[in-house]
Structure formats: structure tokens, C-alpha cells
Amino acid sequence: MSRIDFDIAHLLAGSLVLISFLELYQDRLYALLNVYALHALTLAASVAWQAFIQDAPHLYVTAAIALFFKAIVIPVALHRIIVRLGIHRQIDKVVGVGSAMLAGIGLVALSMVVTLRATYGVESLARQDLAFALSVVLLGLLMMVTRRNAVGQVVGFMSLENGLVLAATGARGMPLVVEISVAFSILIAFIVIGIFLFRIRERFDSVDLQALDQFRGER
Amino acid sequence: MFDALTGVLLIPIAAAALVAALPDYRLTARLNVAATALTLLFALSLFFVRPRSGAYLLVDDLNATFIVLTTFVGFTTSVFSSSYIGHELQDGRLTPRFVRYYHAMYQVLMFAMNLALSANNIGLMWVAIEIATLTTVLMVGIYRTHEALEAAWKYFILGSIGIALALFGTILVYMAARPVIGEGLDAMVWTVLVKRAGGFDPALLNLAFVFLLLGYGTKIGLAPLHAWLPDAHAEGPTPISAVLSGLLLNVALYALLRFKMLLAANTAALAPGPLMVTLGLISLVFAAFMLYRRRDIKRLFAYSSIEHMGIIAFAFGMGGPLANFAGLLHMTMHSLTKSAIFFAVGHVAQVKGTQRIADMGGLTETHPALGWGLALGVVAIAGLPPLGIFMSEFLVVTSTFARAPLLAMVLVFGLLVGLAGLFLRLNSVAFGEPRGANAKAQGSYVPMFAHLLLVLVAGVYLPPALVVWFQNVAGLLG
């Protein structure tokens, strides 16, 4: 692999981590969706680049899914849902921006330490991709924890999933990547349809998950 | 090339399509029973004729046991479900359209579980478990009440995170395997992996197992990853609670066991046992205490499921022929007993028109068969002799006392706390003054008593053929 191939792959994977940080501190839903679309776009570029340098044409399918489904269809659909539900106000986050960012930095450091130590045998691109991917996964989890709003949590889950796709495409020659990315897209589609069809807004008068909790018989 | 395994996988899919297309709910309920019965027959034939294993599917002694258990409980639950659903229709809790959808989902769930159990490819196994999660989410939310939607949403989000972590672990296993096996399909085929696991990078395998344990552990319902489980059990239709507790938790456990065998084949990797033992004990003790303040009867037995999955994970974590044998036996007994209890609870909830424990009482007086059936089920699940769970718990405890007395003390403590908690509740539900509504019980008690009879027989006399079979499987688990 030539130096420039490596650098571009590295750049794209690194940008994904940075964009995860951007998502972490967005406090408006529209802005969050736009940043997520950028996240998915970067993922599509990264996967397409991997398809090119690994000479693995089936990965272009995964890239296309990322481009059309995640970067266009899902953000547009969520945008509409937000308008319908009338929740384009500020997101009430559980923790502040500062502590979320600090926690995020800690998680990235953790994933670097863990993966770089555990992967001495693996070639360096896959190794660093894996470290980046784990960072994106952990940042996605952090985002799900720091948001109370259902839409915010879904965006967190989707960026977590982008991290998984990054890991799967970075693992050279992994079979079933396309199938798995399709399966995941179905899962996400269900989640989005779920918000809409279950009419969380209508039923609970809020997509704030704290309000959901109070309907439970045990409290 | 049609073999038994193809039958086990294709029948549910075909039935799902057929059920979705037919309008009459009575007919679809019968079709549901017929399809699960047929699947069970094919599954039983796996004991005698073993289909050839390929890169995607595999049948060995371990998963044949799981498949037969799954299809058996799937069959009896469909019998229970056909009478239960009729009652829900009369009550107006479900409309015929939803019943069709429910039956189709039931078959898709059976397909997904059978696929997960027979998958030889770890990627395929993951996809199958994802499908199973999705279908159960859809069924948990089927009543469309506040609570049902909340439960479905919670299950969905937590289940998805679990699934995502499991996928990360799966990718890591592939990365560990690739330098040894080479790129491509073979590096995800379990039979190939386990043969060559000795050469894998141990650090990478360790990391993979941590993710797999957390991911599939969420689906097993191990504390502290269990938060979705009580809600999903309490708010969905009761047959689904039976299938969730009796089967789906086992399927996730099976996936974890396959990876445990992989790690065991690599001497340099960490021993997966202690991790499973720890999570198992935490689940057991935590769930045992949680039994005390439950007000909803289905929630009560959901926590009891967490407790028992803890015991099973503990037994498999201890490892060795005896503990594995005990774990397998306990898993089988728990599946049979817990689904029987949920059948009883389903009837009770329909008779009383509520799931609140405070609103039910004196069942043995008003509905003797049902009340005593429930009492027998609780006696069984609490682990009293002479029923099957007593024997498997006894085996778990004695095998642990011989090797790690301190752990055994914690185990016994958890079991006793759980036993007292269950009896406290049983006392108010089954005995004493009759309380609450008193509708006539409809539907058949046959599935419930059939399960309880099996558990009783297993507790008194375990057929030697079964013992030999379980010993053989326990040997496979290492």
C-alpha cells in the first residue's frame, strides 16, 4: 500500500472521530441532524476509499448504502419527524458540554490504549482503523447516555453503528460486510419508523424519555 | 437437497408468509400450531440423521440439543397461544389484523432462533439474533398501550446496543483469525475458527470476548445489563413472555458459549469462565432481592428468569464436565418450568383481568387446577425437591462446593433469598381468601401440565439415554 493511500484512509477515519465530537456538543436537533449527515457522508467516503485500495468492489455497495440511506434518507426523514412532532427546540442534555467533551476525550484515549495494545499482530492501517472505530462506537454510546430526547438517542445509535461499519470495512476481506450493513440499515429504519408509528409524541406528549419512565406501573 | 435442517428453517418462513396472507384468525392460529409441530418433528430427526455441515450451517450435538428444546417449547407455546389469543380478541385487547401479524411474527421468531442456533458462520449468527430481537420488539409493543410502547422502546434501544457491541466483538474475532486462516469466508466459520484458534492473537481474542460478553450478555439478561427484560416480559403478550424467557435468552447464551469454546481452544487467551461466573452471581443475587417488592406478577417471574440465567451462566462459567452437565440440565428445566409458569400466569391474568399481585388471591379455591398448577410451577422454579430444577441446582451447588466453596456460599445465599421471595408471593396469589375478579378460565391447561409433568419426571428419574447425551454435550463444552 502506498503512503498516500494510507494517509487518505487515515484522514477519513480520523475525521469520523472528530465529527463524532461535533455531534456531542450540538444542542439543537436540526444542527445535530446536519452533523450526522456529514458523519454518514464521511463514512461513505471512507468505505469507498477502502473498497478502492482493497480492490473489494462489494464494499461500494456498503458505501452506497451509507451515502443514500444514512446521509440522505434518514436525516430527511428525521427532519420531517421533528417538524411533525414540533420538538425543534433545544435538546435538554443530562450533562453539560464541558463534561461531555472531557468524557469523550477520556473514551478516545481509552480506546487507543486498549486497541493499540491488543493488536500488535495486525497491520498498521487496520490497527488504527480499529482504534478510530472503537472511539466512534464509544462516543456514540456517550451521546446516547447524555441525551434524554429520543431523536438525539437515535442519532447517537446511528453514529455508533457508523463506527461498526468502519471497523468491518477496515478488517480486510471480511465476508458478509454488505449483508451486515443491510441488516443494520433495517434496524435503523425500524427505529425511525418506530418513533413515527408508535407516535411517541402523541401517546406521551413528549419524546423526552424521562416522561416515558413515569408511565410505568412500578413507580 | 432437502434435509431436516432445511425443514427446520424453511417451515417457519413458509408458515410466516402463509399466515400473513390468510385473513381468518382461527385458521392462522391452527396453522401456527401445525407449523411448529412440523418443525419440531424435523428437529427431532436431527438426533438420528445428521445433515452435512457447510460454511454457513452446522449441526452438532450441542446445537441439536438447543434446537430440539427451542422447537419443543415453541410448539407447546403455540398451543397455549392459540387459546390465549382467542381470549384477547374477545376482550378487545387485540384486533384480528393484529392477530395475523402476531402469528406471522411468531413464525419469523422461530425461524430466527433456529437460524441463530444452526449458524456455523459467526456473522450469520449475529444477523439471526438481530432478526430475533426485532421480531420480539414488534411483539412486545403489540398492545399499543403506554407501558407496552415504553417497554418495546427500551428493549429496542438496549437490545440494539447489545447487538452493536456483539458485532464489534465478531469483527474482532475475524481480525484475530485473519492472519492465521487468511482472508475470506473461512475466517468467520466457527468450525474452522475453533480448529485453528490456538494460533490466534490472544490479546485480540480477549478484547473480542469482552465485547461479545457485554453484547450477548445484554440479550441473556445478565445484571447489570438486564434493564429491558422485566418491562419486555410484563408488557408483551404472555406467550411471548414464555418464548422470551424459555428460549430467546437461551439462544443468546448459546452464542456466548460458542465463543467461550473458541477462547478455551487458545491456551494464551484469558479464561472466559471467571467473567461469566461473576456476571452470573451478580445476576443471581441481584434478581433474588428484586423478587421481594414486585407488584406485577409477570415482572416477578421476569426477575426470576434473570436469577436463573445467572445460575446457568455461572454453571457454564465454572466449566468442567459436571458443572456443564448441571448447566445444560438447568437450562432445559428452566425453559420448561418458566414457560409453564407463564402459561399459568397468562390464564391467571385473563381470569383476574389484571397482572397486579394485590388483586389476585385464593386461586387454589376458585380455580383449583390453575391455582395448583401455578403453585407446582413456583415450587419447581424455586428449586424444591422432587422436581427437576432441584436436581440441577443441587448439581450446580455440589460441583461448586468441591472446587470453590466461597462461590458456592454466595450461590446458596442467592438461591435461598430467591426461594423465600417467590414463596412470599405465591402464598398471597394461590392461597388465602379469594380476591379480585373471578371470570371462568378458558383455554387448555394441557401445555402447562405437560411441561410440569416433564419437569417432575426429570426430577425423579432422568432417563439414562438423556444423561449420556448431556454428558456428551457437556464434554463438548469443555
Per residue in B37-70, pLDDT tens? 999 999 999 888 888 888 889 999 999 999 999 9
How far is it, in rounded angstroms, from Cα B85 to Cα B79? 10
Mean pLDDT is highest, among A7-16, A124-133, A172-181, for A7-16
Q: Give me the pLDDT at residue A205, please.
A: 40
Taking the C-alpha atoms of residue B43 and residue B45, their distance in angstroms, rounded to an integer, is 5
- Domain count across chain B: 1
Domain assignment present for B296: yes
Closest Cα partner for A67 from A81, A82, A84, A46? A46
The answer to whether the CB of A187 falls within 8 A of the CB of B121 is no
Strand partners for A147: A93
Query: In the structure, what pLDDT confidence band is assigned to residue A185 with cuts at 50, 70 and 90?
Result: confident
Q: Is the pLDDT of residue A217 over 80?
A: no
B449 inside domain: yes
Rounded distance between C-alpha atoms, residue B212 and residue B199, angstroms: 20
Over residues A174-193, mean pLDDT: 81
Three-state secondary structure call for residue B296: strand
pLDDT, tens only, A131-142:
999 999 999 999
Whether B459 maps to a domain, the answer reads yes
pLDDT over threshold 50, residue A206: no
- Would you give the end-to-end CA distance of chain B in angstroms? 33
Strand partners, B435: B361
Count of alpha carbons within 13 angstroms of residue B13, beta-carbon side: 11
- pLDDT at position A188, please? 81
Please list every residue in chain A whose beta carbon sits closer than 8 Å to the beta carbon of residue B130: 183, 187
Which of A 45-104 lie inside 8 A of B, CB atoms? none
Q: What angle do CA B39, B45, B51 make, to 5 degrees?
A: 100
- The shortest C-alpha distance from B461 to chain A (Å) reads 41
Is the ipTM higher than 0.90? The answer is: no
**Cβ atoms B86, B27 nearer than 8 A:** no
- Range with top average pLDDT, A145-149, A193-197, B50-54, B314-318: B314-318
Q: Let me know: does B248 contact B74? Beta carbons within 8 Å.
A: no
Q: Scanning every residue of chain B, which has its alpha carbon at the shortest distance from the alpha carbon of A133?
A: B168
B288, β-bridge pairs? none
The reply to whether residue A167 touches residue B164, judged by beta carbons under 8 angstroms, is no
Q: Average pLDDT of A34-43? A: 95
Instruction: With a cut of 80, say whether residue B193 has pLDDT above it.
Output: yes
**CB-based contact B141 A212, cutoff 8 Å:** no
Confidence of residue A201 (pLDDT cuts 50, 70, 90): very low
Give the contacts of B60 (CB within 8 A, at least 6 positions apart): B53, B476
* A97 in Cβ contact with A28 (< 8 Å): no
Q: How far is B206 from chain A (nearest CA, A)?
A: 8
Residue A126: its chain B contacts at CB < 8 A? 175
Work out the percent of chain A whose per-residue pLDDT is above 90.
Answer: 33
Q: What is the mean pLDDT of residues A147-172?
A: 86
Q: Which three cell numbers stand for residue A60?
A: 461500494
Which amino acid is located at B1 in the chain?
Answer: M
**Residues B276-287: pLDDT tens digits?**
999 999 999 999
Residue B161 lies in a domain: no
Please answer yes or no on whether B160 and A191 come within 8 Å at the CB atom: yes
- Please check whether residue B144 lies inside any domain of the structure: no
Domain residue limits at B357: 271-478
Domain membership of residue B364 (yes or no) is yes
Q: What is the pLDDT of residues B432-470, one digit of tens each?
A: 788 877 777 777 889 999 999 999 999 899 899 999 999
Average pLDDT on B224-251 reads: 91
Inside any domain, residue B54: no
Kindly report the nearest CA distance between residue A102 and chain B, in angstroms.
Answer: 22
Report how far residue A159's alpha carbon sits from residue A39's, in angstroms, rounded to the nearest whole number: 7
A93 φ, ψ to 5°?
Answer: -90, 155
pLDDT the model gives residue A197: 66
Cβ pair B291, B304 in contact under 8 A: yes
Distance of CA A215 to the CA centre of its chain: 30
- From residue B28, alpha-carbon distances to B42, B51, B142, B478 in Å are 21, 30, 17, 43
Among B273, B301, B302, CA closest to B477: B273
* In-domain check, residue B142: no
